[in-house]
Amino acid sequence: MAHSAEEQVARDFICFGDHDGVVVVCDATCLERNLNLVIQTIEITDQVIVCVNLMDEAQRKGIHVDFPAISQRLGVPVVPTMAAQNKNGLDGLMEAVCTLSETEHTPLQVWYGKVIEDAIALLEENLVHLPLKGLRPRWLALRLLDPDEILQHSLTEYLGYDLAQEPSVKKGLEKAKAVLKENHVDSQILRDRITGALVLTAEEICSGAIHYDQAAYDRRDRRIDRILTGKWTGFPVMLLLLAGVFWLTITGANGLSQILSQGLFQVQDWLTSLLTGIKAPDWINGVFVEGMYRTLACIIIIFRDSKTVINNLIL
């Protein structure tokens, strides 16, 4: 379920990019929330490695993760890393990548409830006989039940035919939608149940596998979030930040710009004196000091003066 252009590009590459494997990078400090993406990726391909990064931050916050348990429940390799600290853990990640194709995995399968599973089964049996170019019938059945126009277009280009218009698929889709309709599951309820199943599955995977030294380890972060994203505080904070940026652009940076320009011209005088002292040819001073260096200083002066003009116009 892609919600942005970047997510659509990533999803299409995972689906149609003819890759050897997929590495999904997660944040160790909020692993349960990140597993939503992991589970959706596993539904597309079983060649997945989960890289749990920022383990140093997790340790600082007193978060402990049972990686063997997480790996067993997901059915794919899970590798902890601390990329910011001397590439700690990246060797293990590269080893897992190199051996990914040599190891058989049995990834978990999300249970979406009896009604949706019955609809998926009806549609899936009509997909297994078609040339799907490696795409999983179950994932395709789910995407046909919960269609995405952009994804449908990409599927048609990749497969070379419109999957939804195939007679057998069309017939199975009608039966599947009839099952959903009989149980009062419309498109919105279907999407809500799919999302809910992903969230609950991620919660079950992390249950008992993630331990916290302090229950309120993220209290400070939550307080900051409440201020920055609160209903009554979010907009005032945003306006204050914009006002600060505006002041810094128009007025606050003038003093710093002036100091920089004065310093640059002082350096120019020093460079000219140095070249004169060592009796360098005049063309060296002309090209490198009065040419290149002075041009740089003039650009800074012009930038400072232009801000002063804008400031005067506003006032």
Query: What is the structure's pLDDT at 303?
Result: 57
Q: Which residues contact 16 (CB under 8 A, 6 or more apart)?
A: 154, 158
Beta bridge partners of 64: 211
63: left (phi over 0), alpha (psi -120 to 50) or beta: beta
Query: What is the structure's pLDDT at 1?
Result: 62
Q: How confident is the model at residue 311 (pLDDT cuts 50, 70, 90)?
A: very low
Query: What is the structure's pLDDT at 87?
Result: 63
Handedness of CA 55, 61, 62, 67 (dihedral sign): negative
Beta bridge partners of 80: 52
Higher confidence at residue 195 or residue 148?
A: 195
Q: State the pairing for strand pair 63-65/210-212.
A: antiparallel
Q: How confident is the model at residue 73 (pLDDT cuts 50, 70, 90)?
A: very high
- 173: its two tokens: 């889709």
Higher confidence at residue 205 or residue 104?
A: 205
Higher confidence at residue 27 or residue 215?
A: 27
pTM (predicted TM-score): 0.69
Distance CA(14)–CA(43), nearest Å, equals 11
| Lookup result for tokens 């789910």 | 142
Average pLDDT taken over every residue of the chain: 84
Q: In what order do the strands lie in the sheet with 22-27?
A: 22-27, 48-53, 78-80
Q: State the pairing for strand pair 22-27/63-65.
A: unpaired
Beta bridge partners of 50: 24, 78
Handedness of CA 289, 295, 296, 300 (dihedral sign): positive
- 68: its two tokens: 């063997």
Tens-place pLDDT, residues 263-295: 878 888 888 888 888 888 888 888 888 888 888
Q: How many residues does the chain have?
A: 315
Tens-place pLDDT, residues 217-240: 667 777 888 888 888 888 898 999
Rg (C-alpha) for the chain, rounded Å, is: 29
| Overall average pLDDT of the 3-25 stretch | 84
Rounded to an integer, what is the distance from CA 208 to the centroid of its chain?
27
Distance CA(12)–CA(313), nearest Å, equals 50
Of the candidates 69, 179, 62, 67, the one whose C-alpha atom is nearest the C-alpha of residue 117 is: 179
Distances in whole angstroms, Cα of residue 187 to Cα of each of 42, 123, 142, 147, 276: 23, 16, 12, 9, 81
Of the candidates 84, 99, 1, 8, the one whose C-alpha atom is nearest the C-alpha of residue 49 is: 99
The angle that helices 5-16 and 31-44 make with each other, rounded to 10 degrees, is: 40
Q: 295-313 burial by CB neighbour count: b if 16+ within 10 A, else e?
A: eebeebbeebeebeeeeee
The beta-strand segments (E) located in 147-252 are 210-212
| Overall average pLDDT of the 172-187 stretch | 92
pLDDT over 90 (residue 151): no
Tens-place pLDDT, residues 86-114: 566 788 888 888 888 787 878 899 999 99
pLDDT over 70 (residue 208): yes
Query: In a 3-state reduction of DSSP, which class is residue 210?
Result: strand
Query: What is the structure's pLDDT at 272?
Result: 86
- H/E element, 49: strand 48-53
